[in-house]
Chains A and B, each alone.
Chain A
Amino acid sequence: MIGKRQRSICKTAAFGVASALVLTGLTDAASAATIASLNKPALQDVTINVAIAYPAPPKAMLAAFTKSTGIKVNYSYIQWDDLQTKIAAAAEAHTYFADVADVDWSKVGEYYETKWFTPLNKYFNVASLPAQYPQIASFIRDGELLGMPSDVSLLVTDVNTKDFAKAGITKMPTTFSQYQADLTALQTKGIVAHPLDIPFAAAEGLSTYWYETTAAFGGQVLSSTYKPEFSSPSSAGYKAMAWMVAAYKNGLVPKGNLSLEDYQGFSDDQAENLTASVFSDYSGDVGTVYDVASSSKVVGQIQYIPTPGVSGPAPNLANPDGIGIPSTAKNVGAAVEFIKWYDEPANQAAFAGAEGSSNSISGFPLPANTGGLAQLVSSGKVPGAAELANLAEHHSRAIFPAGAPPWYPAFSNAVYTNLHSAAAGQESVASAISAITSQVSSLGG
């Protein structure tokens, strides 16, 4: 009656629970051993967690790193927005999640205030960096180096040379009015129905597009004390926003772009020959997004041009990615080694495609340092590299002269949501501008 059957049910349940716990226990025993080994003084057999928003470096290169330093790399490729969530969650809970993590140019102000990342001044000779790293300024705040640049990235203008030729435009526009006229010509001659590519989704890519357009109109969005410089209708920022919204409403931009984020916009429109120009594209898209035969219809047709400003070439704003060491990191020494390795000129050049696409990182812009840039240019494997290197070293400046404000994400959110609403016709440009202005003042600008 009672006995075998109930015992066996009991046993099964117990077995189930036990095996589940054992399974997890085993894996955790393994990771516990790893954590224990991190406290060893030598760097042998150390494992670090790296969380960056780009795909991992080629396996062979990582293996070579492990072989020469003894450091194993546990690499996580996490999408940018999700990665920021994780950084915030871990930091707020004061817990460890990675030894090396993404430090975006836009977060440097925030990290300076919150102290979520360890200053790197002890490990890198800050005084010598500006000569080697064109975009280092974005990562230094009040003398503190909060991350090392992991690439050079610019906001650049590119055009489809074939479409321009078809419209009879032989000389590339050098001023903004010429650019505008050329776009109109493309439209009226029927070459491209909606020639301008602006990704109008309410996301970060729209904000940076506006900053670059503001630079083309001859101004900047925030002063060095973070006061808004776009509030008056005669200011560069106001005019830039008005121009972008009008371009959408007048059909210069495809209607569908209201829901496209930056990369979607570039691969859906420009790479499909549905548009002829991106006014504020990301450096590095030529050679990658536009030149992969299986997914692009415009291979070989897209070229960078100096950004046409209202009175001549405009600066190309810098939006570099960086890597840094969270304050909760467990093995700072190994993390530093990894950063140094990642930034080695030869490796940077390889990531950008100097050794062919099989040994590169998909979507990687330009090498972070002059050494890497030089190697990339001389390899001749990446189209447009020479022009970009030139722009990066001589025509680029930081988006904010004083570095990104600590409340940058909230500011950018105000920018892209209001700019998006204005384009969608839900509010006027004037009310969008005043909404952003009041947000800046409530944030402390």
Chain B
Amino acid sequence: MKRRLGRLARVAALVLVVVWSVFPVYWALKTSLSTNAASQSTPVQWVPGHLKLTAYQALFGAGPESQDAAGGIARSLINVTVEASGATVLTLVIAVLGAYAFARLRFHLKGLLFYGVIATLMLPVYATLIPIYRIMADLGLVDTYTGIILVYTSGFIPLAMWIMYNVFMALPLSIEEAAFIDGATTMQSFRKVALPMARPGIAATAIVTFLFGWSQFIFPLVLSSSTSTQPLTVLLAAIDSRNVPYTIINAAAIIAVAIPAVIVFLLNRWIVTGITAGGVK
């Protein structure tokens, strides 16, 4: 009997956890698919009566309530994808190389450089926002994909490097030692032995980094002055003002979370690996 109760309690708790995690997103989705009147009823309708796509149509410029904020949504989706992907690729290359060096090689200044990089994880955004803007401006890179990718990369490297460092540290030394005994150079050992074994960790880092890139707000707000580079988060902030109906605001929110949600459900294994590699000493 006690076992049964315990079991029941556990299931109930798990259900609560699921509701807690998913409900807000469900609610935004439900609102985005309702009519304006239905979304503002008191008490609320828990399940939408009639599903309407008018909110989404409005965002993309079709339909009676067109809100196509200067052709923004489609373009900003492209922008955020390019920016997040570009930053992920660049970050990975740099972080993997550096992490391997810290994990496996000895050299002077190693400790200083390592902790110097990790320390930057503690910096709040404002410590660097304006000076970075100045630097990008002097290089003529404001409102360019290159500039934004470079800035994102500099922000993502510490965490990516930390994760990859833990990944490399966790690899069994014996296989690499065997390669050395066979006469491999460091680079060969890196490319032929360590990298392949670290592939899951690399995949995990890539996904985590991409998700960070997708969520950026303050930096692109300042660094991207026009629709040609502004990502979805910045556009959402623009829409969440004036008297835009709540159905449309929630629709924009759903569009912004669609890709991360898909990534989470398809690739959650890698995300778990990434985060835990970053946290466990």
Contacts and interface: CB of A to CB of B under 8 A. Distances in A.
Q: Do chains A and B make direct contact within the complex (CB under 8 angstroms)?
A: yes
Contact of B192 (A5, A98, A272): A5
Interface stretch (A83-91, A315-323, A396-404, A421-429): A83-91
The size class of the interface chain A forms with chain B is 35 or more
Interface in B232-269: 234, 237-243, 245
Contacts of A63: none
Contacts of A77: 69-70, 72, 238
A98 B225 contact: yes
Interface string A216-254: 000000000000000000000000000000000000000
Interface string A75-99: 1111111100110011011111110
B151 interface: no
A294 B195 contact: no
A94 B145 CA distance: 20
A74 B228 contact: yes
B191 A10 contact: yes
A51 B93 contact: no
B144 interface: yes
Interface in B168-209: 182, 184, 188, 191-192, 195-196
Size category of the B interface is 35 or more
B226 A89 contact: no
A17 B191 contact: no
A24 B144 contact: yes
Interface stretch (A25-33, A125-133, A140-148, A306-314): A25-33
A97 B146 CA distance: 16
B215 interface: no
B142 A95 contact: yes
B213 interface: no
B62 interface: no
A51 B36 contact: no
Contacts of B129: 89
Contact of B241 (A79, A95, A96, A98): A79
Given A16-B89, A263-B241, A363-B243, A9 B196 contact: yes
A162 B263 CA distance: 52
Interface stretch (B22-30, B110-118, B130-138): B130-138
A55 interface: yes
Interface centre among A5, A24, A86, A362 (most CB of B within 10 A): A24
A97 B143 contact: yes
Contacts of B144: 24, 27-28, 31
Contacts of A288: 243
Given A2-B184, A49-B226, A51-B226, A78 B238 contact: yes
A267 B192 contact: no
A200 interface: no
Contact of B130 (A55, A86, A93, A272): A93
Contacts of B182: 1
B230 A27 contact: no
Contacts of A211: none
A76 B86 contact: no
Contacts of B184: 2
Given A76-B227, A289-B243, A82 B221 contact: yes
B149 interface: yes
Contacts of A362: 67, 242
Nearest to B142: A95
B72 A94 contact: no
A374 interface: no
Given A10-B191, A79-B240, A294-B64, A55 B70 contact: yes
Contacts of B191: 6, 9-10
Given A20-B149, A96-B137, A272-B40, 9 more contacts: A2-B184, A13-B93, A20-B90, A28-B144, A55-B69, A79-B239, A94-B134, A98-B226, A288-B243
Q: Which 9 A-B pairs have the closest CB atoms?
A: A95-B137, A6-B191, A97-B225, A56-B70, A79-B238, A24-B145, A267-B243, A93-B134, A6-B192
